[in-house]
Amino acid sequence: MQALVTDLGFDVLFKGTNFTRLLGGMWVTLKISLISVALSIVLGILLGVVMTFKNPVTKAICRVYLEIVRIMPQLVLLFIVYYGSARLIGLKFEPEFAAVIVFTFWGTAEMGDLVRGALQSIPKHQYESAYSLGLNRSQTYFSIVIPQTIRRLLPLSINLVTRMIKTTPLIVMIEVVEATKVARQIIDANRVASPNAAFGLFFVIFVLYFAVCWPISLLASHLEKKWSN
Amino acid sequence: MYMKNTTLFKLLAVVVAVIMVVGIMSGCSKATDADKGNADAAEASTTDGTIYRTLDEIKGSGSIKIGVFSDKNPFGYVDENGKYQGYDVYFARRIAEDLGVEVEFVSTEAANRVEALQTGKVDIILANFTVTEERAQQVDFALPYMNVALGVVSPSDKVITELSQIGTDDAVIVISGTTAEIYLEENNPEITLKKYDTYSDAKTAFENGQGVAWANDNTEVIAYANTVDGYTVGIPKLGSDDTIAPAVTKGNETLLTWINDEIKALADEQFFHKDYEETLVDTYGKAYEEELVVEGGVIK
């Protein structure tokens, strides 16, 4: 057992403050993704409503925005915001702030599209029935349309949230030291003493990501069950 | 209904715009708080949009941002207590000390070193940065503080000390995309190369006798021969000598001059020899000290 712990590099975890540093790296990941997710949900809902408008101008703008997000790799967006902004307009963003901008830009577009889809999937007769029952526009939205929309939205948006969390290791490219970078630092610092440390450390990273994403999925399936009854 | 939609849209547009503006403004002010020299730095922009902080601005701000590797042991790495260590880091600490400012290390990726200087994200790069002509057009290199060359390691019972010893049936192991591969293909096309994508693949192949020798950066092969028994670096220096030097943003004359004077002044106390003994001796051993260290910016 002792040999296994050493061979697979779990021992380096307990050297010095290594484990705390890994948790610190994970906190950076979590902080950036949670702020971005929160902003994306708020802005995405607004955008989704805008996307359902029949106005050709808003339609075109939303379309272009959505396509840009879909076509551009997140890494390119990160480079544009972090390095490009400094080069072109002399703005110096902190790397974490640049990361939040990019993830929110991405999350808002995808969330907006999900909201649009969910809103449009509510059949017209739901609105008509509501109006004929004497509900006004906002009553219809708040008691008929939005509750149904949220139910349809939930599984898809949870998928988006976990995807955003899982994409955060990219921010290492704009000089943010997050969990995977801390892991690589530890592996390299111990490359002679424990050459197999990579296995142990990335296993721990796997466990950390699982610990973050699993409760989110659990919550989603719990809500889905609760609402389906 | 359309009418209502338009009003609602206008309202939403205003809300979104306000959120965006507030977000961007808070971002700017945050950046400014973190870095007091910002406004001045922006004024010092050169015509092509590069931004840097002059020596006085760095001193005035009380801290210097130095880009180092955080996962390249023993040049720049983070130890188990979360502290930056290594040959480059040792020098970086000294620079900050002599400038009388705090040092702020920025963990850099190899591919981003030029970009980080050109966008003013760091004041100096001290990340095992090899001086090349192409890079010298994009950044300003100070005097060198280390030598690098290619090296060839082979089994101790059949040491290869000259490339001519390699027969036509023998193969030399290289890692794809490295200077070693490029050099051998250009200068010794008669040698058969076996190429591997990663360090660990090349290492396994070499240890299983897939090639008579392994060519790589000399620091890499020396470190390898020192940690694995039964292998000797027969050729410690091959090809043109390259050097490693600090780099600053192109045009940052005041900082560049200061670093050059600093490197010259540090020769009096044999600073880089001390640096070697503190950080590199465990990996490369005493024997390579003169080979690797450049003191006072003078290449022997």
Could you tell me the CA-to-CA distances from A159 to A35, A40, B39, B292 in Å, in that order?
Answer: 17, 13, 42, 52
Query: Rounded to the nearest 5°, which phi and psi values hold at B183?
Result: -60, -50
Query: In 3D, which of B109, B34, B66 has the Cα closest to residue B255?
Result: B66
**Phi/psi at B174 (nearest 5 deg)?**
-135, 160
Of B149, B130, B147, B131, residue with least CA distance to B237: B149
Residue of B46, B80, B283 to mutate when probing chain A, most A C-beta within 10 A: B80
* pLDDT, mean of residues A111-139: 91
Any A CB within 8 A of B16 CB:
yes
ipTM value for the complex:
0.77
Report whether A178 contacts A168 (CB < 8 A).
yes
Which residue out of A105, A188, A199, A201 would a mutagenesis test of the B interface target, given it has the greatest number of B Cβ atoms within 10 Å? A188
Contact map slice: A 199-218 vs B, CB within 8 A: none
Distance from the Cα of B112 to chain A's closest Cα (Å) equals 8
Return the closest-CA partner of residue B61 out of B29, B38, B44, B95: B38
Tell me, what's the pLDDT at B35? Answer: 38
Strands, sheet with B139-141, edge to edge from the N-terminal-most edge strand: B102-107, B63-68, B124-125, B247-249, B139-141
Strand partners, B192: B171
- In Å, how far from its chain's centre is CA B214? 23
Q: Distance between CA atoms of A117 and B287, rounded to whole angstroms?
A: 69
Domains and CATH numbers, chain B: 49-145+245-292 (3.40.190.10), 149-241 (3.40.190.10)
C-alpha separations of B270 from A215, B95, B261 in Å: 57, 15, 14
CB atoms within 10 A of CB B227: 13
B79 to chain A: closest CA residue: A189
How confident is the model at residue A25, as a pLDDT?
Answer: 93
With a cut of 70, which residues of chain B have pLDDT below it? 1-50
Q: Is B228 helix (H, G, I), strand (E, B) or coil?
A: coil
Q: What is the pLDDT of residue A99?
A: 95
* Of A165-174, A204-213, B9-18, B170-179, the least confident: B9-18
Q: Quick one: tokens of B61?
A: 């701000």
The answer, yes or no, to whether residue A160 has pLDDT greater than 60, is yes
DSSP B59-107: HHHTEEEEEE-SEETTTEEE-TTS-EESHHHHHHHHHHHHHTSEEEEEE
CB contact under 8 Å between B2 and A54, yes or no, is yes
Mutate to test the interface with B, among A28, A92, A141 (most CBs of B within 10 A): A92
Tokens of B72: 């390249």
Would you tell me which CATH number, out of the four given (1.10.3720.10, 1.10.40.50, 3.90.550.10, 3.40.50.300), belongs to the domain A2-228? 1.10.3720.10
Question: Which amino acid would we find at residue B287?
Answer: A
Question: How near does any CA of chain B get to the CA of A39, in Å?
Answer: 10
Cα(B240)–Cα(B117) distance, integer angstroms: 27
Min Cα distance A225 → chain B (Å) is: 33
pLDDT per position as a tens digit, B69-115: 998 888 999 998 899 999 999 999 999 999 999 999 999 888 889 99
pLDDT of residue B272: 96
Inter-chain touch A86–B51, beta carbons under 8 Å: yes
CB contact under 8 A, A16 and B80: yes
* Sheet with B231-244, edge to edge strand ranges: B192-196, B171-175, B213-217, B146-155, B231-244
